[in-house]
Structure 1
Amino acid sequence: MSIETDAAPAEAGEEVDALARELGERIADMPLYERYREAKAEVEADEELQEQIREFEKVREEFMLARQTSEATQDDLRTLQDAQEELHDHPKMSEYLELQSELELRLQEVNEIISEPLTVDFGGKAGGCCED
């Protein structure tokens, strides 16, 4: 996976695109990514868990609306936190969230490796001279 430096600009761009596709394919082949996809599919296929997710989303939306109107109480916050904890305690959801976190960390590591020779964060914003 090396880039030839004497290639014409258009060819170099095409080679970078090919390398990017290959990187995506290799990431998709990682055992961690496969485990994440399997856990996600299990969460999506579990109707009971999907109902629990819908209920949590309803509680969260109600809390956000109450917060926007300055009517949210500590009890409302506790209700939301309890609903989230109950959802996250479900074995399938817990495994999914853990794998999602591991995958995000691994992809951040890949981003840092790619960004190392560049003067910008590959995964972040690459433009603007005056960003804070």
Structure 2
Amino acid sequence: MSIDTDAGQFETDVEALGRQLGEAIEDLPEYRALQDAKAAVEESENAQERIEEFEQLRQEFQLARQTGDASQEDLRELQQAQQELHNIPVMSEYLEAQNRLDARLEAINEAISEPLDIDFGEEAGGCCND
């Protein structure tokens, strides 16, 4: 690829490479496995019920924490619900697939970051670290 000295053309080339990278990531086996696992979770009535139960408990716990009424027992109950959710086979497979994709994306981030001498993923996230 030759990069035109015109700054506008350079930005277009870099953006095109970014799109190509996104498309290549979509083709990764880890990405496809995560999409398949996500679909399985969405299709599982048991998983969906447990997710709703967990989210309800989490919201109740957060509200109790904000008002100073959260107890250790509330926290244990929330953690137990999360563990039960994670123990559902489709959910466990989803979490494993997510971990594998995260590891692959971290390797890609390191490859991009190395010549830049910055953490590309952190910088691309657009969030401030104060």
TM-score under structure 2 normalisation? Answer: 0.88
Q: CA RMSD in A?
A: 1.6
| Secondary structure of 1:125's aligned partner | helix
User: Which AA in structure 2 matches 1:95?
Assistant: E
The equivalent of 1:81 in structure 2 is 79
The answer to whether residue 52 in structure 2 is matched with residue 54 in structure 1 is yes
1:61-80 to 2 correspondences below 5 Å: 61-80=59-78
Do the aligned residues in 1 keep the contact of 2:3 with 2:13 (CA within 8 Å)?
Answer: no
More helix by share: 2
Shift of 1:117: 1.1
User: Which AA in structure 1 matches 2:57?
Assistant: V
The equivalent of 1:33 in structure 2 is 31
Aligned counterparts of 2:71 and 2:7: Cα–Cα separation in 1: 60
Aligned counterparts of 2:78 and 2:30: Cα–Cα separation in 1: 31
Do the aligned residues in 2 keep the contact of 1:4 with 1:12 (CA within 8 Å)?
Answer: no
Runs of 4+ in structure 1 displaced over 3 angstroms? none
Which segment drifts farther, 108-117 or 91-100?
108-117
1:119-130 to 2 correspondences below 5 Å: 119-125=117-123
The answer to whether residue 4 in structure 2 is matched with residue 15 in structure 1 is no
Identity among equivalent positions (%) equals 53
What runs of 5+ residues in structure 1 fail to find an aligned partner? none
How many pairs align? 126
Aligned counterparts of 1:123 and 1:81: Cα–Cα separation in 2: 30
The equivalent of 2:114 in structure 1 is 116
